[in-house]
Structure formats: C-alpha cells, structure tokens
Structure 1
Amino acid sequence: MSIDWNLARDYALPLGVGALAGLVAWALMTWLFRRARGRDQRRARVARVVTLPLAFALPLLFLRIASEATPLTGRPLEVLQQFLHVGLVACITWLLVRAVAAGEKAILRHNPIDIADNLAARRVQTQTRVLSRVLMGAIILLGISVVLLTFPQVRQIGKTLLASAGIVGLVAGIAAKPVFGNLIAGLQIALTQPIRLDDVVIVEGEWGRIEEIGSSYVVVRIWDERRMVVPLAWFIENPFQNWTRRSADLLGTAFLWLDYRTPLAEVRAELERICKEAPLWDGRVCVTQVTDTSEQSIQVRLLVSARNSGDAFDLRCLVRERMIDFLTRKHPYALPRLRAEITEGADVLPRQPRVQADDVRSPGAEDGVPAIVPGEPPAAV
C-alpha cells in the first residue's frame, strides 16, 4: 500500500504544527506553575490558578485549529474534532471553577473572623461562601450542558423532551423541589443573611454556632461538640433565635428566691462589687431588681451584660455563686425558709352537755354499732 505524500503533507503539516505549538504551550504553562508554587505574591496566586488548566487547554486549542485547516474529511476527523471540543469545554469549565474558588479564598483571607469585632467579616464570608458555591455549581452545570449538546443523539432527546415540556416540567419540578428549594434558600440567606458564619443560634432548643453553610445544608456546632445538620430551607421556613444578629453583646440574668427580710441595698452593692472585679463584665449593665413575690419569698433578678454569649453564661454562673456565698456568710436569714406557727390553747368548740339516755343512737345506727353521744368521742369498736 503506497502513501500519497502530497496528500499526507496537506494535513500532516497543520496537525504537526498544532501539536508542536501545544507541546510548547504545555511546557511553558508547566514551568510557570512550578515557578509560582513557591511564591506568595498576588501574581503568583493568579499564575497558579490559570497555568494548570491552560497547560491542557492550549494544546487542545492548537490541535482544534489545525484540524480545521486540514483537507481530511470523514468520520475519524469528526470524532477527533468532537473529542477536542469536549476537552476544551472541560478545561474552560475547570479554569472558571478554579477562578471562582481563588476569588473566594482571597475574600476570606482579607476578612478574617478570628477577631473581636467580626460582624462585618462574618457577613462578607457568609455571602462569599454561599454565592461562590452557587456560581461554581452553575458553571459546572453549564459546562456539562455544552458538552452534551455536541452529541447529535442528545440534541434529538432534547427536541423530544421539548415536545412534551409540560409533563416533563411537572415531573422535574416535583422531583427537584428539595434541590431548588435549598438553592433558592441559599440565595436568600446570602442576600438577607438571617444567619452568618459563627453566629450564635438556638435551633430546636439547642445552643450552638453556625460552623458551615453549604449549598444544601447548614452545620451547627452544639456547645457540647455535637454537630446538627439542618437543611437551608429550614432557616427560611421556621423561627429560630440568633443571638449575634446585630452584635455579640448580650444580657444575662441570674434569679434568686430570697426571704422578705433580705437587705436589698447590700445585695445591690455586692452585685456591683462582683461585676467590677469580674473581667467577663463589659461595664454596661449591672442591675438588681425584685421581679416577683410569693407568700413565702421574693424573686430577685441580677441582670448583667457581657461581650458575647459565652462570657454572659460564665458571668451569670459567677454572679450566682458569689451572691449565694455572700448571703450565706453575711445574711443567712435572707435565704428562703418555710414558716409555720403553732399556737397552744387554740380555740375549740364549747363542750356540749352529756345526754343521760344510754340507748341513744345516731340516726340510722344499726344494732351492734356503738351509739355516738354528743360531746363524747365515739367509742372504740
């Protein structure tokens, strides 16, 4: 079998040039990627993001251009061009996803939440994490759609589905309701921000912090190191408590039931002394109030303030312990007690004269039952 070198030269030269240019581009991108790995500058970060996808995309692009310039026709060329097209779409999708992820990391890096006043940083991090995941999901979905549309069989299926769009749309809507519900809830949370990362919340009666906001669920870190996984849509459809919605400052209360003889002025002075000595107190609120009374005691509320919920809980425990110790040492009579009064010679009914009749019985008394005589206790049977 002889080879027509004139014909081979017509398509071998473009493909050879394309392959050579692709190899050069791949080597250049690989060199740039390795060189950028040891640097921390902004340009180095950008290079690390784009070089690896471009190292695969540029050779495919040159081969795609070369395949269009060849006079070769037939099924092998169509398969080659389709393969190159799918590879290019995959590389571009990969590049866009890496770019979104790099942008997310840059924003998170410039807005740390491990500082005292992190309200603005938590707001930015929440929006960035949710929106970046939604955007990456949309990019991947778009890339898969473009790849599938390159196959004629898939395009034919698409036309068939469009012909019955009503039924398909109804079935897809019912099947994908949880997915789209969580997607829309994620966008609502990113824009309106009822919760943010590191927010202190009460969910289903559990106290915890928002540890992670994903594309379909939220992870709440409970105070005892448990993790509660809650769907995103739950935070849109159900009420919950957010203790750090505007600020982390919080008021804490300690209730004591005390005796009516409690010296409230000294209790109030002792609370102020405890707050001033406690580093957990933020200096805003320190109030002693009688909030309720009962037949036996009074309810005293000790209201204090702290910088965050953790400090508020510890401060409440500290105030409660020291106040009880103070009352036990200085004013033990102030502790609640149960009072009872026993009076000797209590008033009794006057004694009735004794009836002389021995056979007097109570009305309805039967034979064999002792008679009940007024003024006398009933005889023992």
Structure 2
Amino acid sequence: MEDVLRPLIVIGGSLAITLFIGWAVDWLLRRIDARHPETPLWGQLRRCRLPLQVTVCTALLSGSYDKTEARVVQQHGSAIGQLLALVLIAATAWLMVRVSSAVVESSYFRYASSAHDPARVRRVRTQVTLIQRVVAAVVGVVAASAMLLTFPTMRTVGTSMLASAGILGVVAGVAAQSTLGNLFAGLQIAFGDMVRIGDTVVVDGEWGTVEEITLTFLSVRTWDERRITMPVSYFTSKPFENWSRGGTQKVATVLFHLDHTTPIEEMREQLREIVQKSPAWDGRNWNLVVTDTTPSTIVVRALITARDPDDAWAARCEVREKMIAWLRDTHPYALPRIATTPAAQPPQAAPDHDRRHDRHDHFARFEGGLHKDVPPAR
C-alpha cells in the first residue's frame, strides 16, 4: 500500500502545488492589470501561465521523483532524471521567450498608443519583431546546447570540439556566407531605418507593401495579393523605391497624348472640377500643363496630390477615366487620330504630276527611237 501511496503523494502534490502557483500568479497579474490599465505588461504576462506551470511542475518532479521509491524509478532512475532535465530546460527556454515577448510587446503597444508619427511606429514595430526573433534564436541555441551537455558523451567530446573551434568557425563562416550576410542585413534594416513593416515599396518593378521582415528574408504583399519573398540582403545591395520614407504624401501624374487643337483652358477647368469632387485628393495642389509636343500630338500632364500611395493610384485612375470621357463627349477632335488612307493632293499638284508623267513618256519614246536608228555594231 505504501508503494502505491508514495508515488501518488509525490506526483499529486507536485501537480497541486503547480496549479496553485499558476492560479496565484494569474490572480495577482489580474489585480495589478486592473489597477494599472495603462501598462499592458501585466496582461501580456498572463500568457506565460502555461510555460510557468510546466517549468514548476518539472522542477518539483526533478527534485522529488527519487523519493517515490517506485520500482520503475529504481530501475531507470538515471534515464528519468535526464528526461526531466531535458523537459525542464525546454520549459525554461519557453518561459523566457514568452516573458521577453511580453515585455517587448508591451513596450511597443505603450509607445504606439502615445506616438503620433506613423513612420516611427512602423520603425519601432520592425525593430520589435526582429528583437523577438533574435531573442528566440539565442534562447533556442543556448537551450539546445544545455540539453546536449546533459549527455555524458557530449561532455567528453566538448574538450576536443573547443580545440578545433577556430578551424570550424572559419569553415562554417565560409559555408554560411550568404546566411550570415542576410542575418547582418536584417539587423541593418531593423536599426538603420531603411525599410519598415507597412512601407510601400517598389522592387523589381513590383509595387507592394512590406508585410514581414525576418532575419533572413522579407515579404512584400503586392496590390493583387501576391507575396514576393526576397532575401534581406537585396535591400542593402540594390536600389529600391520606398514611397513611405519621408512621409506618406504622394503626387499622382497622368499623361495625355492629344491633338494640337485641344482646348487646354477648358481641359484645365474640367480637371479642377474632377479634383474637387475626388475623395482621393488631399487639397494641397493640382495643375495641368503641356509638357511636350511632337509633329502629331502634344503631351498634357495632369498633377494631383494625395495623402498616401493608395489614394495617389486612385486619383490617377479617376482623372484618366473622367478626362478621357469628357474629351470624347465634348471635344472628340482633341483625341489623337491615326491616318489609314493616303493624304489628298492639293489642286495645283495635278498639273505638275501630269507634266512629270509627260516628261517621262517623252524620254521613253526618245530613248526607244535612239536605239532604233543606231545600226548594230559589226
């Protein structure tokens, strides 16, 4: 009977203490969060309840499993102890990642709620995301190393590995040159303010919004809901357009190729009516000017200011559509025409044309008679 009760008391007691600690910590965090609602840290820390309970329960079992005196423990005590040590290391790493994530996220939310510059908020968001990934990677590497060191064979190999660490480091650096380059490029992007999450960029002729930035790649969501995944080293080695840097306000331009008889003043007045009714116009500026001319057409440029790249695109499409419809209905002669038949000759060209044909026929007759009168050579 004692062999059955002892394991139940040890395991049941560990579970009971774990549940009580989890409930007490959660209750305390709820009370603090209710008293200080302006600080989101306490609410974020409540997400750490599960890894905290796993860590506490594993720690309690690691210190008391040998007290059960069960037959399984006596036969496989070292294996059970090593298994509990591995679980404890993994649970501690999980808890550390959750706590660091809660601290970083609460700091970001507190900053975002008080900041008034969207560009700065996106910059901090990018840095926060990469900091979380770096912390998770470091904690994961340390936890994996600690778990490997729990095996006795790895401890004996550790001395020889340290002796050859220099050569292995050089070999690994050469082999992972592109990976390390992307890693440092990601840190440079995060803290160099080159590109941020939410920025509107143009890369390789594709227009889209930066959706995700990691330590190795960057994802751009295009206007047609496609995702372009690119290495972060691309943004540190090649030029690209960042429409969100320096403010979101943009200037939209529309070019019209029209006939020389186009009424520019009426067209300018029509553009003013279109712009004033457009919700995409931010009220800063607009104009219409002739920027170029060719033998067959003139180039008219309409300019409209907008609040952001999306409104600039909408304004460009709206002005182009309504202006073409207005020209088609009221001034169709202003639209460029393509000649499909030969041009008509002026009236005075006909006699000259006939005289040229007469001279040609006379020369032909003269040349034929000349060849006819000359006797053949002997």
Shorter-chain TM-score tier: 0.7 to 0.9
> What do the CA deviations read for 1:82-133 (whole angstroms, capped 9, x no partner)?
55554443332121101122234434545669x9963222122111111111
Normalised to the residue count of structure 1, the TM-score between the two structures is 0.76
Distance 1:170 1:289, change over 3 A: same
Q: Which residue of 1 aligns with 2:37?
A: none
Unmatched segments (≥5 aa) in structure 1: 1-12, 69-73, 367-381
> What do the CA deviations read for 1:42-80 (whole angstroms, capped 9, x no partner)?
576355244333323335545666799xxxxx9988767
Q: What is the alpha-carbon distance in structure 2 between the residues aligned to residue 356 and residue 64 of structure 1?
A: 124
Residue 55 of structure 2 is aligned to residue 57 of structure 1? yes
8 Å CA contact 1:289–1:302 kept in 2: the answer is yes
Q: Which residue of 1 aligns with 2:71?
A: none
Unmatched segments (≥5 aa) in structure 2: 1-5, 35-39, 67-73
3-state secondary structure, aligned to 1:361: helix
Q: What is the alpha-carbon distance in structure 2 between the residues aligned to residue 302 and residue 358 of structure 1?
A: 66
Q: Decide which structure has greater helix share.
A: 2
8 Å CA contact 2:22–2:52 kept in 1: the answer is no
Q: Which residue of 2 aligns with 1:267?
A: 267
8 Å CA contact 1:36–1:44 kept in 2: the answer is no
Q: Which residue of 2 aligns with 1:344?
A: 347
8 Å CA contact 1:290–1:299 kept in 2: the answer is yes
> What do the CA deviations read for 1:224-283 (whole angstroms, capped 9, x no partner)?
111111122222222221111222211111111122222222222221121111111111
The letter for the 2-side match of 1:342 is Q
The letter for the 1-side match of 2:54 is F
Distance 1:333 1:117, change over 3 A: farther
Q: Which residue of 1 aligns with 2:370?
A: 360
Distance 1:31 1:46, change over 3 A: same
Distance 1:67 1:356, change over 3 A: closer
Which has more radius of gyration? 1
The letter for the 2-side match of 1:344 is P
3-state secondary structure, aligned to 1:301: strand
8 Å CA contact 2:26–2:49 kept in 1: the answer is no
Deviation at 1:207, TM superposition (A): 1.3
Q: What is the alpha-carbon distance in structure 2 between the residues aligned to residue 117 and residue 281 of structure 1?
A: 21
The letter for the 2-side match of 1:360 is L
3-state secondary structure, aligned to 1:299: strand
Q: Quote the sequence identity (%).
A: 36
Distance 1:243 1:88, change over 3 A: same
- Deviates most, 160-169 or 25-34: 25-34
Q: Which residue of 2 aligns with 1:90?
A: 90
- Deviates most, 180-189 or 97-106: 97-106
3-state secondary structure, aligned to 2:129: helix
Distance 1:17 1:324, change over 3 A: closer
Normalised to the residue count of structure 2, the TM-score between the two structures is 0.77
3-state secondary structure, aligned to 2:300: strand
Deviation at 1:135, TM superposition (A): 1.2
Q: What is the alpha-carbon distance in structure 1 between the residues aligned to residue 267 and residue 367 of structure 2?
A: 70
How many residues were matched structurally? Answer: 346
Distance 1:83 1:337, change over 3 A: closer
Q: What is the alpha-carbon distance in structure 2 between the residues aligned to residue 89 and residue 140 of structure 1?
A: 10
Of 20, 23, 28, the match for 1:31 = 23
Residue 103 of structure 2 is aligned to residue 103 of structure 1? yes
Q: What is the alpha-carbon distance in structure 2 between the residues aligned to residue 277 and residue 76 of structure 1?
A: 81
The letter for the 1-side match of 2:46 is R
The letter for the 2-side match of 1:343 is P
